[in-house]
Structure 1
Amino acid sequence: MKLNIQRYIPVAALSLMLFNSSCSDSFLEKSPSDYITSNDLEEVAKWNTNILMGQALGTYSTTFAMSTGGVGGHDDFGQKAVDIATDLMSGDMVIMMKGYGWFEMAGDLTCSTRTAAQFSYQFWRYYYRLIKATNEILDAAGGDEAQPTGESGVYFAQAKALRAYSYFNLVNLYARPYLEDKNALSIPVYRTQLTSEAAQKSTVEEVYNLIVKDLTDAIPMLEGYVRPSGQKDQINQAIAKGMLAYVYLTMGKYAEAAELSQEVIDSGEYTLMNRTEVINSGFNSVSIPGWMWAIDLTTSNSPALPTFWGHMDLFTYSYAYAGGEKLIDTNLYNSIPESDVRKKWFTEIGSDGKQAELTNWWKFYDSKRIYGNREWYNDEVYMRVAEMYLINAEANARNNALPAAQNTLKALLDERDTETASKVADMGKEELLDQIYFNWRLELWAEGRGLLTMKRFQKSITRCQEDAMLPGQTYDYKDERLTFKIPENEIINNPNLKD
């Protein structure tokens, strides 16, 4: 058996370390720049499932490593960079002051052009890099129609789910919404790395068909899979169901979205963050019960300053600490009732007795506060069970199942705003949807749901005067600046992608 030894050794070592470790750390690679080839994996997987495990976990580390988008700046660090940029594009989060340059192209809506390396090229390269890595795993297992069992089946299913997640993000960033024009040409689809043939654009519907198939394949294969104690980096069945619920919601398949999200809620595996956790947890640890999918950053795997925490936490030594704060939109802040505990996230009374800037005081913060963390190892969240409540409430409301929508929204608000919770039962469909929209924007502020929420609810926004980028400007969900263009260098390499 002939192996590429240089590539095999680090992956095998990683696998062995993971297999034998009893620690809570994930031991994910810091900079997974190389993948072993499909031929190598196909041979090795016959006798060592740990090799597939090493490849899968190395793929997860791509989601938080620096420069995974190929740009190399301090706003190129995987999934949380996408989350920050798209929330800035939605206007729910704004940049207080120009200066460092990071994320400013997202703030002024100049990041989506063909020639914009940040972020049009960066996001394209990041997600297709994930797709390439997941395709390698699927190829090694016999192709994406294979049905491996046991541990190999788990890593196969995780690869399918992560590929679906990548295509879902791509098609929503680089194409118009599914419900507006599902027949429009969008992005190329690659299901294997065993050919170098350049793909043509697929329609939005064709991309969604693959997404749905990948997730419906993955969900039963993840039945019974339990992640190692204290770890939340790997995709389990609840996360795959959550992904598919989100997909169905975006497709207008509301009954299916409601059913799947309810299954996650009813499983009891995750509990909503309560009123105390919402303020006192700092959103900084995978141990939070309401976190479904999250990365346990450590001093050994953190990309350091270019992290979510480096840009969002006032109290970690970071850009935010040094003047690069991100603020909540003033109009959104002013719409938060005084009875809502989440208003505390953005409220701080200074020594002069006046309210300080509407920045992130009490949502994402290190518990040690000032200079609390200069090693950037606070954890990063990708999915929370609160999203399942909001998906469920929205899907049921849109499907005219108002009592079910009211019950789910009330369950969330019972831990956020009891005064508003007491009024939910009397809300009609439109008022209920307005309240759900508000809670998407507030509950998931700075967690990367703003742009998709804006498009799904077909809303417009007027930037607040505190915004350093586009103060007072109004735009709606159809604004062409909110849809990324396929990068110019991709079109040069693949003429099939020309308009």
Structure 2
Amino acid sequence: MKIRIKTLSLALLIFAMTSCKEDFLETVPTDSVTPAVALADEASMQNVLNGIHRGLYSQSQTILPGGDSARAGDHYWVPMGDAIAGGLIHSADANNLGWRDTMQWNDHTLETSLTNEILWYHRYNIILHANLIIDRINQGDLTETPNLLAIKGQAYTYRAWALLSLVQHYSKGYLIGNPSTDPGVPVNLNAQSTGPRGTVQDVYDQIGLDVNAAIAAFQNAAPRPTGGPETKSQLNINVAYGVKARWALSMGDWQTAATAAVAARQGFPLMNEADWKSGFNTNDLPEVIWGSNVISTETTFFRSYFYLMCNTFNGSQNRSNPKIADRRLVDAIPDTDYRKDVFLIDAPNTNASASNGEGGWDNNTNPLYTTEEEFDAAEAAIKSQYGMTSGHNTHPYMHVKMLQKNPGTTDPDDIIYMRSSEMYLIEAEAKAMMNDIPGAQAALAPLGNERDSAYDVTIFNSQAALMDHIKFQRGVELWGEGFGYTDKIRWDEGIDHGADGGSGAAAVLYQDAFVVERPSVNDDWIFKIPQAEINANPNIGPGDQN
């Protein structure tokens, strides 16, 4: 990053906007912006923050020198977590944006891959601009108003969040390695600093300092604005507590994780059935603590989160390749749990190119359809109900959890990063790991009772039973929201699509990713350091490669 630091330092500043509520970006010539001007006052610093917000979902070439239109920030990184972990399953061959390569583990395992490079520089770009804000505030010549404290809290939260993302992808998992000696990622604490990888523990220590600094700032800060979905792109104390809960959970600090998770979800009630089935396409949902509000003037079209995994999006990635859930997970959902309804178990397999070889009426294996007319009628009914086009295919176990506001189009939808359900599950896992059986049951009960009319948490009355159930609940509740990768690393679990009756994935399509050894014995779970970084950073050499 040392060579790139000067070119990155203003990358987001020149795309900063005057307000997160506006539908356009204010741009200025690169050579007319300096940190002194861009960070002169609260309004200017808020513009920089708004640029960071936009950078989460913009095409990377608009924020990074050498970026690429095939990666649009967390549109890609969020579903990637479930694609790599084998939960978001491809039913047919389609490699738009390298999505098949990602799923097959032919992407993050290569030091020259676009995914490795863009994720690295995207997160460090966030850190760089957070550093610019923090450095400016720490100069001490600005009046510490509630608004300035809100800006400070957001900057520290962003730095903590970006560092956590980096260390979880480019280093060995905290709980399955030796954090005091395992290589971490560079910790840059001001706009002009760079350094060696250090250790995983070094990174985790800094995340803890940052997230606590964020919470301290937010405690006396102006509250986050209320209103439409755009307001939840701004970070607040709940987001900071949520990042702290994730950080503590990933390192096995169970009590801190539980306490922070409770604080994070305050004011964000669980969704009811109607909300849960509405498509997960807006920050307006009551559970959403943080998300990107993707405005129509900046849609990424065929590079969006929903393009990669939503079965109503009108793109070839979806029409030819309906995304399905692991049938072992879906079959385990009780019929009294309304979440089962968003997985269409008996959808006909209409794609003649389906990887399992069962596509089309001539290959139908579902005894529910005894005639071609019944088969075709079922397809038509699904397309009509969910707004798919005539070109969309259907497939058994396809999901309709993520649905567009305007199905069958390429219109943009929001990206949800943090919900209160996750916080209930973090508290439950943390208390189960402390062997606090009543505490874990109490944390699970509100979520389970809301989702399942016959839910009885008392049957999970041992640590082992609770952990198995928490893993199941995370798999169902957070399916498609990107947590599979970090969950499997934390739990040290591998991937086996063929076990226990099979997931529904085809070995011919998944190839080496059909069975993957657990993270503690397989370093392929660790993303490769970009070769471009090794070439550019004098503090990182070929011997530092994962």
The TM-score, its normalising length taken from structure 1, stands at: 0.87
Q: Which amino acid aligns with 2:188?
A: Y
Q: Deviations over 1:203-243 (max 9, x none)?
A: 11111111111110011211352224222101011111011
* SS in structure 2 of the partner of residue 188 of structure 1: coil
**Alpha-carbon spacing, 1:210–1:276, altered in 2? closer, same or farther (3 Å):** same
Structure-2 residue corresponding to 1:304:
301
Q: Which amino acid aligns with 1:338?
A: D
Give the counterpart of 1:466 among 485, 505, 519. Answer: 505
Q: CA deviation at 1:26?
A: 5.3
Q: CA deviation at 1:335?
A: 2.6
Q: Deviations over 1:113-150 (max 9, x none)?
A: 35332321121111111111211222222369x99442
8 Å contact kept, 1:270–1:385? yes
Where does 1:330-349 land on structure 2 (aligned, <5 Å)? 330-347=327-344, 349=347
Q: Which amino acid aligns with 2:404?
A: D
8 Å contact kept, 1:92–1:332? no
Alpha-carbon distance in 2 for matches of 1:396, 1:147? 42
Give the counterpart of 1:50 among 29, 43, 46. Answer: 43
2:408 corresponds to 1:365:
no
Q: Structure 1: 5+ residue runs without aligned partners?
A: 1-6, 19-24
* SS in structure 2 of the partner of residue 381 of structure 1: strand
**Alpha-carbon spacing, 1:26–1:276, altered in 2? closer, same or farther (3 Å):** same
8 Å contact kept, 1:26–1:296? no
Structure-2 residue corresponding to 1:450:
484
2:409 corresponds to 1:409:
no
Structure-1 residue corresponding to 2:133:
137
8 Å contact kept, 2:250–2:490? yes
Range 201-210 or range 255-264, more displaced? 255-264
Q: CA deviation at 1:469?
A: 2.0
Q: RMSD over aligned Cα, in angstroms? A: 2.8
Q: CA deviation at 1:475?
A: 2.6
Q: CA deviation at 1:92?
A: 1.2
Give the counterpart of 2:423 among 368, 379, 388. Answer: 388
Structure-1 residue corresponding to 2:472:
438
8 Å contact kept, 1:38–1:137? no
Alpha-carbon distance in 1 for matches of 2:317, 2:330? 19
Where does 1:235-246 land on structure 2 (aligned, <5 Å)? 235-246=235-246
Q: CA deviation at 1:28?
A: 6.5
Q: Deviations over 1:446-486 (max 9, x none)?
A: 11100111111121221245242237424323322211121
The TM-score, its normalising length taken from structure 2, stands at: 0.80
Q: Structure 2: 5+ residue runs without aligned partners?
A: 1-9, 349-373, 380-393, 498-502
Give the percent of matched residue pairs that are identical in Structure 1 and Structure 2: 24
8 Å contact kept, 1:441–1:453? no
Where does 1:220-239 land on structure 2 (aligned, <5 Å)? 220-223=216-219, 224-230=222-228, 231-239=231-239
* SS in structure 1 of the partner of residue 517 of structure 2: strand
* SS in structure 2 of the partner of residue 186 of structure 1: coil
Q: Which amino acid aligns with 1:475?
A: E
Give the counterpart of 2:147 among 146, 151, 155. Answer: 151
**Alpha-carbon spacing, 1:423–1:208, altered in 2? closer, same or farther (3 Å):** closer
* SS in structure 2 of the partner of residue 435 of structure 1: helix
Q: Which amino acid aligns with 1:83?
A: V
Q: CA deviation at 1:33?
A: 11
Where does 1:136-215 land on structure 2 (aligned, <5 Å)? 136-142=132-138, 148-179=144-175, 180-183=177-180, 184-195=182-193, 198-215=194-211
Alpha-carbon distance in 1 for matches of 2:429, 2:29? 40
Structure-2 residue corresponding to 1:480:
523
**Alpha-carbon spacing, 1:428–1:100, altered in 2? closer, same or farther (3 Å):** same
* Larger CA Rg, structure 1 vs 2: 2
Alpha-carbon distance in 1 for matches of 2:405, 2:201? 45
2:388 corresponds to 1:377:
no
Structure-2 residue corresponding to 1:261:
261
Q: CA deviation at 1:340?
A: 2.2
Q: CA deviation at 1:88?
A: 1.1
**Alpha-carbon spacing, 1:411–1:163, altered in 2? closer, same or farther (3 Å):** same
Q: Deviations over 1:141-170 (max 9, x none)?
A: 2369x9944212211210110111000000
* SS in structure 1 of the partner of residue 82 of structure 2: helix
2:52 corresponds to 1:59:
yes
8 Å contact kept, 1:30–1:65? no
Structure-1 residue corresponding to 2:117:
121
* SS in structure 1 of the partner of residue 184 of structure 2: strand
Q: Deviations over 1:340-399 (max 9, x none)?
A: 221222216455277952455421112554x2x33x222111111111100010011111
2:282 corresponds to 1:291:
no
**Alpha-carbon spacing, 1:190–1:33, altered in 2? closer, same or farther (3 Å):** farther
* SS in structure 1 of the partner of residue 169 of structure 2: helix
2:101 corresponds to 1:105:
yes
Structure-2 residue corresponding to 1:14:
17
Count, aligned residues: 471
* SS in structure 1 of the partner of residue 302 of structure 2: coil
Give the counterpart of 2:214 among 198, 211, 218. Answer: 218
Alpha-carbon distance in 2 for matches of 1:31, 1:79? 22
Q: Which amino acid aligns with 2:83?
A: L
Q: CA deviation at 1:322?
A: 2.5
Q: Which amino acid aligns with 2:306?
A: W
**Alpha-carbon spacing, 1:103–1:11, altered in 2? closer, same or farther (3 Å):** closer
Alpha-carbon distance in 2 for matches of 1:33, 1:127? 24
Give the counterpart of 2:462 among 413, 422, 428. Answer: 428
**Alpha-carbon spacing, 1:149–1:446, altered in 2? closer, same or farther (3 Å):** same
Range 300-309 or range 203-212, more displaced? 300-309
